[in-house]
Structure 1
Amino acid sequence: MAASMVSRAALSGLRLSPSRRLLLDPLKGSRPTSRRWLNLQEYQSKKLMEENGVAVQRFYVADTAAEALDAAKRLDAKEIVLKAQILAGGRGKGVFDSGLKGGVHLTKDPMVVGDLAHKMLGFNLSTKQTPKEGVKVKTVMVAEALDITRETYFAILMDRACNGPVMVGSPQGGVDIEEVAASTPELIFKEVIDIFEGVQDDQALRMASNLGFKGPLERQAADQIKKLYDLFLKVDATQVEVNPLGETPEGQVVCFDAKINFDDNAEFRQKAVFAMDDMSESDPTESEAAKWDLKYIGLDGNIACFVNGAGLAMATCDIIDLHGGKPANFLDLGGGVQERQVYEAFKLLTADPKVEAILVNIFGGIVNCAIIANGITKACRELELTVPLVVRLEGTNVQEAKRILAESGLPITSADNLDDAAKKAVAAIKK
């Protein structure tokens, strides 16, 4: 689909799909959400949609070339699309280390599917969104290829400015929705959903009309919109994005591609959904951090950032850069941090061979600075820290925290403010 992931470094750990970023300007007043950890493969999202009455292409999933060939025969379709399943965009233009070009292939001959799958499964696919070495393909989706007469864009997402969910749609689908918003903002339509009433018939029909569906297709599209909202509620989604939501020559409204984002806080009641999470493509350090409720994103610099709060983390990365340094990571401890999390965070930071200094920048609100200080001293001793450590603490119980650090006898450099801390961290690298 047209959805893409923005630069990790630029947002320092915040990932947004196009429709989320779209709301920052045309719909006014919204703000980025924190990073969501669950990321489903395309076939998994389509399975959830299919189970909830949303119209999708007929499809099968295969782990071997033989299974793919059998699936193609069972589909008995005029044309078949074979898609490599990885958590990255740009698959169609990707390249396999087997020599095969393209992670998406169309064919009218079921026998070709087996050969193509043989060149996909077990090989790395490199796209504009994967690491240089690519990502190993373990699964392929074999689906019925349908002709699309017209493509539209539709999404449901949580929007702070609306105090709840909002529908966003455009008759210009199948492309980067941000480009549509920038060049033709009048083609972006919004419907605020009353969280108590849900999507009303008139709202669904109005959105379907704005998307350009006419005649019987308008009601059909409205029904699909209502079913997508039912799915949105049922799985505790923060976003359901369909691009394209298209119509076929046979007069069917079909969700051809979808991206679903979920609320981490609902994991306790969405166990079946979260059980589908495939962590094999995730960065090992990020996965380990998630076990301790830490948000970690590796960057290219050499000064590790140890911070509580996403905004403070971004400010810390920026001020390090301002003073001529380069952040090695974005690490957000969050609000309810405990000593063990501080220790585990230090383990992650010191395991990175690029790290030549560590900058701790904590603003204690609901966080007790003394807990941070005890975690720091424990980590320094047990991990035998060898790189320079600069610590700036402010807020709750800060005097007790400073006493703990001062009496530890450890080579810790204290800083009075963020600017001072960044200067000292950069200076430590240059010594």
Structure 2
Amino acid sequence: MKLFEYMGKKLFAEFGLPIPKGRMVDNPEDAARAAQEMGAPVVIKSQILSGKRGKAGGIKFADNPEEAQAAAQELLGMTIQGLPVNYLLVEEKLKIDKELYLSLAIDGVAQRPVLIASSHGGIDIEEVAEEYIIKRTIDIDLGMQTFMAKDIVSRMGIALNSPQGKELVRIILILYKLFSQRDAELVEINPLVISGDRVIAADSKMTIDDEALYRQLDLQRVEERTATEKAAHDLGLSFVELDGDIGIMANGAGITMGTLDTVAYFGGKSANFLDAGGGTGEEGTAKALELILSRNPKSIVINIFGGITRCDDVARALASVKRKRGIPVPVVIRLVGTNQEAGRAILNEVGIEAYDYMQDAIKKAVELAR
């Protein structure tokens, strides 16, 4: 579960991490009042569950309450990276001497937490050269120790006996405590700002392990799925909305990703990711098709390699949907595997031809979408 920036910063403050003065608002008038109370200049930040807000125009600055109100008026109701802006965080504008990067995440290969730090924080952290990135995996039995934090700060090029160095050591130790106690998969501060003798978390990104939410009952629940994605989840299907016009259905995560890649290779854009899973029966397949049709695609490609999944079950579901409600767009299916001949015979009855090869089926679906 991803947390909004303001939620992450609330947890930061509870654990003793330094954050800027700030206030959540949902209307321009409150933004002006917040700027008045904190004393301008301020920064006004859209609250969405995505990065790159600054580049997308989702962060603005104001030198007085009037400018803050105008900026809030512009931001509220915007759509950034497909996400609506309903809330804003108004914060004091920090004097920035240096931007650092600090995060804790789960290293799936090492099966341990890993701390990542850099003396080059801020925008485009992904493009920072490897030589400026510090990584340290952490033994969960040992935890984050003071000597480890001091080593990281020293490698970042910050003097340990300076006020900033001492504060950084404290922040690293607290960050690990927060990461552990809140069952986080990711805690990220970018940028971690040095402002004079102060070190301040100017941003926050947190993701909580869904499987541990029963232990985090005081955390506000954040639903980031769309209504269609939630409906798919309730049906036990893996479904993600995308911004293309070709509906996608396949039976397995790997084959679904391969289908999306092949659609892109032939110049198409997928409208969704839908992994119907192995063993999906006739009813489940029919519901999956209903979800795809709700996205109003221009064509649909179905890619089935039947092992546990029976091709005749998929064919019956597709034929049933076509007979009962009709399918207003072309459907192209690649159907190979268990009971494929029976499945193809069922499809022939409703005028649908099955392909042997994924590439041929997808190329045809892209052509039809055009």
Partner of 1:276 in structure 2? Answer: 222
C-alpha displacement of 1:331:
1.9
C-alpha displacement of 1:192:
0.8
User: Is 1:350 the equivalent of 2:293?
Assistant: yes
The one of 198, 202, 205 equivalent to 2:147 is: 202
Question: In the aligned structure 1, how far is the partner of 2:213 from the partner of 2:188?
Answer: 20
Correspondence 1:303-342 to 2 at 5 A: 303-322=246-265, 324=266, 326-333=268-275, 335=277, 338-339=280-281, 340-342=283-285
SS in 1 for 2:109: helix
**Identical columns (%):** 32
Taking structure 1 as reference, are residues 137 and 375 closer, same or farther at Cα in structure 2, changes over 3 Å only?
A: same
Correspondence 1:3-402 to 2 at 5 A: 38-75=1-38, 77=39, 79-89=41-51, 91-92=53-54, 103-107=59-63, 109=64, 111-112=65-66, 115-116=69-70, 119-120=73-74, 123-125=76-78, 130=81, 137-181=85-129, 185-214=130-159, 215=161, 216-249=163-196, 251-270=197-216, 272-273=218-219, 275-277=221-223, 279=224, 285-286=228-229, 288-292=231-235, 293-301=237-245, 303-322=246-265, 324=266, 326-333=268-275, 335=277, 338-339=280-281, 340-356=283-299, 358-364=300-306, 372-373=314-315, 375-394=317-336, 398-399=338-339
C-alpha displacement of 1:402:
5.1
The C-alpha deviation readout for 1:359-414, integer Å capped at 9, x for no partner, is 2213456656666455444433433224443333456xx22x65356347433322
Question: In the aligned structure 2, how far is the partner of 1:393 from the partner of 1:236?
Answer: 43
Query: Once superposed, what is the RMSD of the aligned Cα atoms?
Result: 3.5
The one of 399, 403, 408 equivalent to 2:342 is: 403
C-alpha displacement of 1:180:
1.3
- Give the AA of the match of 1:64: N
Please tell me whether the aligned partners of residues 289 and 295 of structure 1 are also in contact (alpha carbons under 8 angstroms).
Answer: yes
Please tell me whether the aligned partners of residues 298 and 329 of structure 1 are also in contact (alpha carbons under 8 angstroms).
Answer: yes
Taking structure 1 as reference, are residues 144 and 192 closer, same or farther at Cα in structure 2, changes over 3 Å only?
A: same
SS in 2 for 1:346: helix
Give the TM-score taking structure 1 as reference length.
0.71
Taking structure 1 as reference, are residues 373 and 116 closer, same or farther at Cα in structure 2, changes over 3 Å only?
A: same
SS in 2 for 1:169: strand
Please tell me whether the aligned partners of residues 21 and 91 of structure 2 are also in contact (alpha carbons under 8 angstroms).
Answer: yes
Please tell me whether the aligned partners of residues 304 and 336 of structure 2 are also in contact (alpha carbons under 8 angstroms).
Answer: yes
Taking structure 1 as reference, are residues 198 and 380 closer, same or farther at Cα in structure 2, changes over 3 Å only?
A: farther
SS in 1 for 2:3: coil
SS in 2 for 1:208: helix
- Give the AA of the match of 1:406: A
C-alpha displacement of 1:210:
2.0
